[in-house]
């Protein structure tokens, strides 16, 4: 009997194009029957933020972080050629022209394929993010949970 293969991705980057690459790889691996986990940490957590999060009580610094970070996957900037916000608009136009999937669509597909979307609780604490601000269906865990998955993983990526 063949053992299920697993793919584990650490999504550290908050850049649209890097997050998109992570989700394309994750969805592709799931299509090949891999068990897939994406561990979102630091700026990668922005991919899981709701576009319109509910009001939650935060301290001064946490409110500042919340204002500076993009709300949701569709609002993330590009790693290169951001050009004052024009780059993301241009890449989204190209994505539409080629009938490719946007980040929100890739995240939705990942959830439909039962890809484990994990938010790093330590980073959430550091940035002042609360569970109510993230998408439904996300798992909350620390680095030990990622390491347990990665230890037996066939593919481990850091993006």
Among 23-27, 33-37, 76-80, the range scoring the smallest mean pLDDT is 76-80
Query: What's the burial of 98, exposed, middle or buried (CB within 10 Å: 0-12/13-18/19+)?
Result: exposed
- pTM metric for this prediction: 0.92
pLDDT of residue 58: 87
Determine contact, residues 73/45, Cβ cutoff 8 Å: no
* Count of domains observed in the chain: 1
Q: What pLDDT was estimated at residue 137?
A: 96
Domain-located, residue 1: no
- Tell me the mean pLDDT in the region 33-55: 94
**φ/ψ of residue 70, rounded to 5:** -65, 145
Give the Cα separation of 144 and 22 in Å (integer). Answer: 21
Residue-level pLDDT at 1: 61
Domain that holds residue 41: 6-158
Residue 40 maps to a domain: yes
Least confident of 70-79, 83-92, 149-158: 83-92
**Residue 106 belongs to domain with CATH number:** 3.40.1260.10
């Amino acid at each position: 009997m063949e053992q299920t293969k697993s793919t584990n991705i650490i999504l550290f980057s908050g850049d649209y194009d890097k997050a998109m690459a992570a989700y394309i790889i994750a969805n592709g691996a799931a299509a090949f029957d891999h068990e897939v986990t994406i561990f979102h940490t630091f700026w990668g957590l922005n991919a899981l933020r709701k576009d319109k999060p509910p009001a939650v009580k935060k301290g001064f610094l946490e409110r500042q972080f919340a204002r500076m970070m993009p709300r949701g996957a569709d609002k993330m900037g590009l790693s290169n050629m951001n050009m004052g916000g024009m780059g993301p608009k241009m890449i989204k136009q190209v994505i539409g022209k080629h009938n490719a999937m946007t980040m929100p669509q890739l995240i939705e597909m990942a959830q439909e394929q039962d890809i484990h979307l994990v938010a790093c609780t330590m980073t959430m604490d550091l940035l002042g993010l609360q569970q109510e601000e993230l998408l439904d269906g996300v798992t909350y865990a620390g680095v030990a949970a990622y390491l347990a998955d990665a230890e037996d993983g066939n593919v481990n990526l850091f993006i």
